[in-house]
Structure 1
Amino acid sequence: MKNLVLLLTVFFLASHSMALEQPKHRVLETIGKIELRDYEPSILAEVEVEGERSAAVNQAFRILAGYIFGGNQGQNKIAMTAPVTQAPEPSSRAGEKIAMTAPVTQETVSATGSAGNPRWRVAFMMPSKFTLETLPKANDERIKFRVSEPVKRAAIVFDGFSTESNLSTHREQLEAFVTKRGIKTRGEYSMAFYNDPFTLPWNRRNEWWVAIE
């Protein structure tokens, strides 16, 4: 855990002087803390892990961080982006870091793991300068790449630490909003995290996303 905190801190402090690249989208409507957004396609690097939510995202983050810090067949360092998302599921070049982006996302995967543990899909968005053809191949076969489809999402933005109670409260608010509006959703709800571990609670940016019709 200590190594992960250090790694996260290095990531975000290294990128502090410049804004992290984020998924391209436009805001269609804002209602308090909730936004309806229209997202463009982006390339995602994803890994599926199982276990308790926070432990799962930590494990997945280490795997994905290894890739963007040079754990690829070109040894390329890739810029970080934001957010990281979480949802319930050979080259001869000399090497490059891949730029930071945000957020990290996390969502649940439908299937459960070997001991009935939940499975999670954690994703980093790849910088927009890359295509699937130009991205360096990951050394870790657990990392998969895909192009996300254009999608409309309902999102709720909130601060505070990503505790289970804080996450649950705001997911319920987003669920209540789409139900009241009669908005049809599809797929799983995803969590999106934008900050390093040392950002103060009132300065943090967390989000819940859900795709809408």
Structure 2
Amino acid sequence: MYRTDTVHTSGWLIAAVHGAFASLPEIDQFAENTPYAGSYVPLRNYGRDERVSSVMIELRHKVYLTDPAAPTARPKSRTMKSRSGRTVSRSAGYAPRRAARTAVRGDEESARDAGFRKLAEYILGGNEEKPKIAMTAPVSQARSADNSWIISFYMPSQWTMSALPTPDNQEVELVEVPDETIAARRFTGSRSATAVATRAAELLGALENTEWVPVGEPVACFYDPSWSLPFRRRNEVVVPVATC
């Protein structure tokens, strides 16, 4: 945390910032005015207007972003080829996986954000044993039978169900995901509800008159963080399929 002086960064503001971060398990170090010092105050107000308060917060990128040199782990899969030779979508066979998931009510995008926060707390130490679990991709979102949204993080392959720590939040559950064959439509750009619905309709349409028959509802998968440039995002809509 960077601060100015007692006029514009008063004791109550410093205490408030400390209090806001003290309960976060992923923040294990907190320092003031190091390695730099100072915060921003408009020149017209500096030293003249005590109503203007200022504090600048800097987070090390490792707190919220995995090492860009180390690729994010992804579930193991193998590509399935169409008998007809048509390339209508990506078809893959996924091996059994473990996932942490949570159910959230609300509109599609706000539910996605709320579910992500709950699951991020779990892998960042919000569990009984307190270990941190590496982030993997994708994060998936699916509509449940009761119209809530199921947000899922897939666990790194080395974690077995018996070894995974128990979540502190009872709204987070750990589940076994059986092996499955899916068809996928990849896209970049917007992740809005409209964009996801459009891609889902394209995927289902592309599967018509092929040997791949949908056996479930479409699921949205997101491989990149929300702050990534839209044109560089990898998004997918997938649906479980069987051959006819």
TM-score calculated relative to the size of structure 2 = 0.69
Range that drifts further, 14-23 or 42-51: 14-23
Is the Cα contact below 8 Å between 2:99 and 2:155 reproduced in 1?
Answer: yes
Q: Which runs of 5+ in 2 are unaligned?
A: 1-57
* Counterpart in the other structure of 1:165: 194
- Residue 217 of structure 2 is aligned to residue 188 of structure 1: yes
Aligned to 1:59: 114
In structure 1, list runs of 5 or more residues that go unmatched. 1-5, 84-103, 112-117
- What TM-score, normalized by structure 1, do the two folds share? 0.79
1:151 match: 180
Number of aligned pairs? 181
Following TM superposition, where does structure 1 have runs of at least 4 consecutive aligned residues deviating by more than 2 angstroms?
Answer: 9-15, 29-33
How big is each residue's C-alpha offset from its partner over 1:115-167, in whole Å with a ceiling of 9 and x where there is no partner? Answer: xxx30111000111110101111111111111111110001111112023322
Larger radius of gyration: 2
Aligned partner of 2:204 among 172, 175, 185: 175
1:46 to 2:81 alignment: no
Residue 17 (structure 1) aligned with residue 69 (structure 2)? yes
Counterparts in 2 of 1:158 and 1:33: CA distance versus 1, 3 Å: farther
Overall identity of the aligned pairs, in %: 30
Alignment of 1:112-123 (within 5 A): 118-123=147-152
CA RMSD of aligned residues (A): 2.1
Q: Does 1:212 align with 2:216?
A: no
Q: 2: CA distance between counterparts of 1:11 and 1:50?
A: 28
Is 2:145 aligned against 1:110?
yes
Corresponding residue of 2:25: none
> How far apart, in 1, do the equivalents of 2:101 and 2:93 lie?
21
SS for the counterpart of 1:138 is: coil
On the 8 A contact 1:43/1:132 being kept in 2, the answer is: yes
**Separation of aligned partners in 2, 1:13 and 1:136:** 22
d(CA) in 1 for partners of 2:213, 2:189: 28
Given that residues 186 and 211 in structure 1 are in contact (C-alpha distance below 8 angstroms), is that contact kept between their aligned partners in structure 2? yes
Report 1 or 2 for greater relative contact order, CA contacts < 8 Å, sequence distance ≥ 6: 1
Aligned residue type for 1:149: P
